[in-house]
Each structure stands twice: as C-alpha cells, then as structure tokens.
Chains A and B, each alone.
Chain A
Amino acid sequence: MTDSTSAQSPAPAKVRTSLLTQNALMKKRNAAEARFKAYGVAAICVSLSVLAIMLWTIFSDGVSAFKQATLSFPVTLDADALDPKGNRDRAEMMRVTTIGYTKLLNAQLLAHLEARGISTEGVTDKDVAAFISRDTPARVRDMVLEQPALLGQTIEVSGFATGRIDGYLKGRVTRDTAERDTNISVAQLDLADRMQAEGILAAKFNWSFLTAPDASDQRPEAAGLGVALIGSAYMMALVVIMVLPLGVAASIYLEEFAPKNRWTDIIEVNISNLAAVPSIVYGILGLAIFINFAKFPQSSPLVGALVLTLMTLPTIIIATRAAIRAVPPSIRDAALGVGASKMQTVFHHVLPLAAPGILTGTILGLASALGETAPLLLIGMVAFVANYPASPLDGGVLDPATALPVQVYSWASRSDPAFIERSAGAIIVLLAFLVTMNIIAIILRRRFERRW
C-alpha cells in the first residue's frame, strides 16, 4: 500500500499463542454459550414440569368420572302398580309417573336386601331408598313404556347409586365428612360396605358419561357430555365448512391477485389486528348480529359456529398466506412459462404445494375454536340443555346445545363436589378431542408433504 502505514509506529512483536490453551476472551465466549444453553434447558424443564403437573391433576381428578357406583338388583315389574287399567295402553301407562316407579324400586331393593340377608340396621327404609339415584326410576319407566311386554316379569335392574354413595366408593366422601353431611350418614356408609361385599353395589365403567345429556344439581351421577359432544362436533364441522373456503379464497386473492396498493395494505393491517381481538368481543358481535338482528335461535350450534368462524378467520388467513408465500416463485414462473393462466397456476401448482401449511394453520385455528368458551357464553350456549339436538339433516344445528368447554365451565361452577370430578372428566374428553384432531392433521399433512 502507501507509505503512510509504514510511517506509523512499528507493529507490536507477535506473541505466539498455543492452540492447546484457551485465551481469556475464548473462555468468556464459551461460558456465555454454556449459560445460554442452560437457560434454554431450564425453560424447557419448567414448562414440561408445569404441563406434567397440569395433566396429573386433571387426570387424577377426572379419571374417576368415567366410573360410576351402580346398584344391581332384580326387580319384579308389578303389572297392577305400573298399569292399573291392565290394558297395556301407552297413554294410560304414561299416567304412572316416576314417583310410582320410585316406590316400586324402593320396595324391591329393600326386599332384595332382606332376601340376601343384608342387615339394614340403623338405617331407615327411607335412607335405604336414598341409595337409588333419581335417574334410575326414570330409566326403568322409559324401558317399560318402550316394551310393555316386560310387565309382570322380573328383570335385573342396573342403575346409578346417588352421588354421595358414588363419592364414598371413589374416596371423595369419608366417614368424617359424612358426620357433617345432612345428605348421608355413617350408618348408610356401613350399609354401602355390606352391599358392596355382596356385589349389589359396584363401581362400573360409565358410558353414559359420554352419551347422556346434562343433569340437574340433584343428580350429578346422571350428568353426561352427550349434548356437549354433539354441540362441539356440529360447531367444528360448520366452522370447517365456513372458514376453509372463506379463508383460503381470501388468502389466494390477497396473495396472488390483489394489486399492492393502499387498500390492500389497510386490509392486511386489519386482518392482523382482528387476530388479536379478544374472543369475548366476537361473542358480543355474534349476540348483536346473529341473535338480535338476524334472529337466529339462542344456544344453537349454528350461531356458535358463525361466531367461532369470525374468530378463527384472521388466524387462518394469516397462516394460509404464509403457506402460499412459501411456495417458491420458480414454480409460478414455470407454470406461467408454459402458458398456464393465473388461476391454473394457483390451483394446479401453488395450492397443492401450500396445502400442508394451510392444513396446519386450519387445525391450529380449529383447536383454539374448540377450546373457546367466552364467546359461547354470550350467545347462550351455557344453558342447561337436557335434550339432544336433532341430526344435522333435520335442522339440528338450530337446536339448543352446549359445547365441551362451556360444559366444563358450568359443571365447575356448580355446588355439589361430584360435579368437580365430572368437570375434570370433561377436560379429559376435550383434550382427547383435540389430540384426535391434531393426529388427523398430521396424517393429512404427511400425505401432502412438500415434494420439491
């Protein structure tokens, strides 16, 4: 170079450093790196342990919801009591209410205990009758009305025990709590022990937790998730049907066709903002538009799905646009170069390549929609619904229903402790629903895996 460099002070003498020893700066850099790794590992450990604690509490509380204390004993269906006129006419038989059946079942249970030689000492007949859930006479009545030929026969009835007995079998009710509880006595618990030893009382797997509708505060043992499952399934199906075409069409237009100007910029910013709007705001919007203005029925899966669609749409548009943008431009050039039209380019080449990304985004959006509670509370889906909605072909999407997260919320807010276990059980079902959806998404994504 020039002379100016040589004119400066002579370069310091070179110190030979060994590669085998680390200098101070290197040590500092390595230490920083090690610290950073440790932070990362610690963060992962903390989140994993929190997740483990959460799952452990949910499962330890909730698994017992799938089992239910069940009383099994033979019942002779007394024709005189249940069909006083004796003509097997359905309308006449309907006159005998569940009270009539309750009396019959109570008497038969007492008789069965006596026959088996199980002492009911210290327990009044009324307290023995209190073992039988109010759900059981109703079920027997439905059965008899369905098959009048059963009258006069002796059948084996298997029905729920009341919530307190169920709690005793699961360890929720103990002798200590029974002393302070007006609904149950220690003598009743002793009787429960004897009945369990004789096989009359047992905890059995409870399918009706998944199939039965919700039940009132007085009979937590009969409450099930049937209506909530149907409601959630209807809503998810409707959300997919509405959100996928809307979201994908909007993304394709914005990404591939729309001119880049101030209007599209404004739309873009607004979509990002909408994705961050709290979900309860969508609930109010749905209440105002779909229920107050459009007069759709309250508590219906259709309104729920419309609200959830509005809520999920921005997320799905953002994910889909990212997926479309990730398709290499060379593919578009190639398609245009052989004379494909813009639409052919998009539908033949861009969309298939973007499909895995679109699917992932959709599933993430659906998962958040599935767990969404707040907007559904506002459109009345928190109501107590004891009847199943009809099939979708018969307009079932307009029938009142609840949803899984809303059911969790409403059970968790009830007073009877038996509902706490059911609430946790419903969370397990919700998580299983989510995991199933994610597995489907992974399978679909594998099928469309990127191939360039």
Chain B
Amino acid sequence: MYDAPNLETRVTQTNTKITARGVQVFYGEKQALQDVNVDILDNTVTAFIGPSGCGKSTFLRCLNRMNDTIASARVEGEILLDGENIYDKRVDPVQLRAKVGMVFQKPNPFPKSIYDNVAYGPKIHGLTRSKAELDQIVEESLRKAALWKEVKDRLTEAGTGLSGGQQQRLCIARAIATAPEVLLMDEPCSALDPIATAQVEELIDELRASFSVVIVTHSMQQAARVSQKTAFFHLGNLVEYGDTSHIFTNPSDPRTESYITGRIG
C-alpha cells in the first residue's frame, strides 16, 4: 500500500496574498456567508473545513469571482488580491481568473487531447509566441502536476480517457499552465480513490512552493495532512481561522472542537 508522506504542516510564510474584509454573500434573499474576514498567506496551503452547506465553497468561489456566473448571487465586502480589490468595477473577471486558477470537485478535462487541455489556457491568454514555447509550458505544467511521466507518450490522446486521479492531475496541470498566483481547489480529492488522493495531496504540498493554495475539503484528516492554515466555517460564519496544528489540537471555539471531534457535521 501507499504510505502517506510526512508533509510539512508548519507555517513558514508571513506575506499576505489575499485579504478578505467583511465578505457577505447572498443567493437571492438567502444569506450564505456572513462577515468573513481572513488573510490568506502566500506559498501556504490554506484549508477550508466545515459541514456541508457552511459556505466554504461559496467563499472559495468568491476568490476568483466564479460566483458571477450564478445570476442570483451577490457579493458584498471586499477581497484584496495583492492589495487590489477584485470586486472593483474596473476588474475583468476573465483576467482575474488567469491569476487565480481553480480545480474543481469532479475532474472535468475538456473533451480534447491531453496536450490541448493544458495548452488551452496559455493559448487564450497569449502567453506564448511559438509552438516550442507552448510545448515547453505544457511539459512543465504536466511535470509540476506529476503527470508527465505517465502521459508523455500519448499527449494526443483524449484527456477524458485517463483514470480519475490522472484526470484530476491533468486539471491541476491545466490550472497551473496559465501561471496563476493562487490556486483554488474545491474538494479536489472527493471523487478519487485513496491512492490517487495521496498523490494529489503530495502534489499540493509541492505546489505550495510556487503558489498560494486554498483547498476546500470535507476530510479533516486531509486538512490536517496538507495545510498549514485552516479556516473552520459553520452556518455561513467563519468560526475560527489559525494554524492547522493549533486548530486541530487546541481549538479556541467550542464549535470547532465539536466538529473536529465528530460531534457535529
């Protein structure tokens, strides 16, 4: 069997990448998120945990304005990326999403070749000037996503023909090919088996060197394994945010403790 590696769980960074202040999200009349304040650090894995419907995915989707695609969603407050408010009228969400990549719950490769999946982002953002450069970006991204060795001989085959874990790593490669600064992951392992999960977790730890990674997860063990910072959401509130080691060993809020020990959730 696969042995889970010992991942670094201490916070080593101090520069803030994303600052959220007073973020409130409404779906129509219903308020999904209340007054969230959080500072997400650069080169750090931040985990959002909490029971279903607590607003953690909603908050994640605020960070690259994917909520814009939901007609009834309304976001208040401000979210600063490197000091710039991403909800400013002048910000084009398309440009923002090139900086803040996203990996989804279910692997969703495009029904195209493996190469085209990874090359699509750089192509539409005009990141390359030649085929050789594009080839290089594709290879680098696939290497970073720990997929290169498995697919280098079949880049022209359909991305949908890969196994679930490979597909998810392909989606990660696709997300990092546009050279983002932040990588958002919405329960990236929930559709994967334990071995694929372990591979992706190891990958997340490696990606920390280049990006600020924010991961939403249902699995507390996963949060404990991969993250340095953890935020606990409950009923639309950010209950507690702090170092992962602290949250899991010595939570300050009784609700966090109840959730971690399995009494609620």
A349 at the interface (CB under 8 A from B): yes
**Looking at the complex, which of B5-13, B15-23, B106-114 is the stretch in contact with chain A?**
B106-114
Contact with B along A84-104 (1 / 0, CB 8 A): 000000000000000000000
- The reply to whether A335 and B102 form a contact with Cβ atoms under 8 Å apart is no
A426 at the interface (CB under 8 A from B): no
Q: Tell which of B64, B110, B177 touches A331, judged by Cβ atoms closer than 8 Å.
A: B110
Closest to A451 in B: B111
B248 at the interface (CB under 8 A from A): no
Report the count of interface residues on B (CB-CB < 8 A): 29
- The reply to whether A339 and B94 form a contact with Cβ atoms under 8 Å apart is yes
A340 to B96 alpha-carbon distance, docked (Å): 11
**Looking at the complex, which of B51-59, B117-125, B254-262 is the stretch in contact with chain A?**
B117-125
Residues of B within 8 A of A344 (CB): 124
Residues of A within 8 A of B98 (CB): 338-339
Contact with B along A352-363 (1 / 0, CB 8 A): 010000000000
Contact with A along B55-67 (1 / 0, CB 8 A): 0000000001010
A263 to B160 alpha-carbon distance, docked (Å): 39
Closest to B118 in A: A338
Q: Tell which of B94, B109, B158 touches A334, judged by Cβ atoms closer than 8 Å.
A: B109
Residues of B within 8 A of A348 (CB): 120, 124
B225 at the interface (CB under 8 A from A): no
Knowing A336-B69, A337-B102, A452-B160, the reply to whether A330 touches B120 (Cβ < 8 A) is no
A348 to B175 alpha-carbon distance, docked (Å): 17
A335 to B125 alpha-carbon distance, docked (Å): 12
B249 at the interface (CB under 8 A from A): no
A333 at the interface (CB under 8 A from B): yes
Q: Tell which of A260, A332, A341, A451 touches B160, judged by Cβ atoms closer than 8 Å.
A: A451
- The reply to whether B108 and A339 form a contact with Cβ atoms under 8 Å apart is no
Closest to A341 in B: B94
Residues of B within 8 A of A278 (CB): none
Q: Which of A334, A336, A353 has the most CB of B within 10 A?
A: A334
A336 to B93 alpha-carbon distance, docked (Å): 9
Contact with A along B164-178 (1 / 0, CB 8 A): 000000010011011
B234 at the interface (CB under 8 A from A): no
- The reply to whether A339 and B110 form a contact with Cβ atoms under 8 Å apart is no
Q: Which residues 85-144 in B have Cβ within 8 Å of A in the complex?
A: 94-98, 101-104, 106, 108-111, 120-121, 124-125
Knowing A330-B108, A334-B171, A452-B160, the reply to whether A339 touches B125 (Cβ < 8 A) is yes
Residues of B within 8 A of A338 (CB): 97-98, 101, 120-121, 124, 174-175, 177-178
Report the count of interface residues on A (CB-CB < 8 A): 22
Residues of B within 8 A of A334 (CB): 104, 108-110, 171, 174
B71 at the interface (CB under 8 A from A): yes
Knowing A335-B110, A338-B178, A339-B95, the reply to whether A330 touches B104 (Cβ < 8 A) is yes
A259 at the interface (CB under 8 A from B): yes
- The reply to whether B69 and A339 form a contact with Cβ atoms under 8 Å apart is no
A336 to B158 alpha-carbon distance, docked (Å): 20
Closest to B94 in A: A341
- The reply to whether A339 and B66 form a contact with Cβ atoms under 8 Å apart is no
Residues of A within 8 A of B96 (CB): 339
A302 to B71 alpha-carbon distance, docked (Å): 42
Q: Which of A260, A349, A452 has the most CB of B within 10 A?
A: A452
Shortest Cβ gap from A415 to chain B (Å): 60
Other CB < 8 Å A-B pairs besides A337-B97, A340-B94, 19 of them?
A330-B106, A331-B110, A333-B102, A336-B66, A337-B64, A337-B66, A337-B101, A337-B103, A337-B175, A338-B101, A338-B121, A339-B95, A339-B96, A339-B124, A339-B178, A340-B124, A341-B94, A349-B110, A450-B111
Interface residues of A (CB under 8 A from B): 259-260, 328, 330-341, 344, 348-349, 353, 450-452
28 CB contacts below 8 A, A to B, read A260-B71, A328-B108, A330-B106, A330-B108, A331-B108, A333-B66, A333-B69, A334-B108, A334-B110, A334-B174, A335-B110, A335-B120, A336-B66, A336-B69, A337-B97, A337-B101, A337-B103, A338-B98, A338-B120, A338-B124, A339-B95, A339-B97, A339-B98, A340-B94, A341-B124, A344-B124, A348-B124, A452-B160
8 closest A-B pairs (Cβ-Cβ)? A339-B98, A330-B108, A337-B102, A338-B121, A339-B97, A451-B111, A452-B111, A334-B108
